[in-house]
Amino acid sequence: MNYDKLSKEVAYALRHYPREYELELDAQGWVSVDKLLESLRRSDKWSPFEIDDLKEMIETSEKKRYEIVDDKIRALYGHSIPMKIQKKEMKPPSTLYHGTSRRFLESIAKNGLVPKTRQYVHLSEDIHTAILVGKRRDADPIVLKINSEDAYKNGVKFYFAHEMIWLADAIPYDFISH
């Protein structure tokens, strides 16, 4: 099974278009694994398809995008659906990073970092991840350094996605350098 393709399809279902998959996410983004399996199996592409395929997809992925707990699964970040997924608000590490395209810099300097089509701004604990994120859009991306300690002290809210990825509401440019 092609786990990259499966992961993209699961992202559609759990981050962007749950209704197209006849799924309803709860407030933290969880759905029943059985319902997701049932929904994906409706497409010829993904049948036969078992929970072990989902587990294997999660375990072999370079990125920690999903988690399964008991009989439920959720995406840990990346949502774009209108209903805002509730994330755990937490004090962030003192510095975080955001990799992006150089062509966005002017607008970011003017407007700060904003979530765009997603629900939150995405940040990473390490520069390496930020470079990989930025490379999706620019061969020579720029890495912004976020003074999350000061931002947090000044009321910007941060949320935990997993050990390496943090989420935030909009971040004013005052707390950003590069």
* Region near ligand HQG per CB under 6 A, out of 25-33, 46-54, 117-125, 147-155: 117-125
Q: How far apart are CA 94 and CA 68, in angstroms?
A: 29
**CB-nearer residue toward ligand HQG: 10 or 31:** 10
Binding track, positions 41-80, relative to ligand HQG; x by CB under 6 A:
----------------------x-x------------x--
Kindly write down the DSSP assignment for every residue of 31-57, as one continuous string: EEHHHHHHHHHTSGGG-S--HHHHHHH
- Would you say how long the chain is, in residues? 178
Residue 2 touches ligand HQG, criterion: CB under 6 A: no
Q: How far is the CB of 22 from ligand HQG (least distance, A)?
A: 23
Q: Which of 33, 45, 44, 52 is nearest to 8 (CA)?
A: 45
Cα dihedral 25, 164, 55, 117 in deg (nearest 10): 40
Residues in contact with ligand HQG by CB under 6 A are 63, 65, 78, 100-101, 104, 107-108, 111, 113-114, 116-118, 122, 133, 137, 165
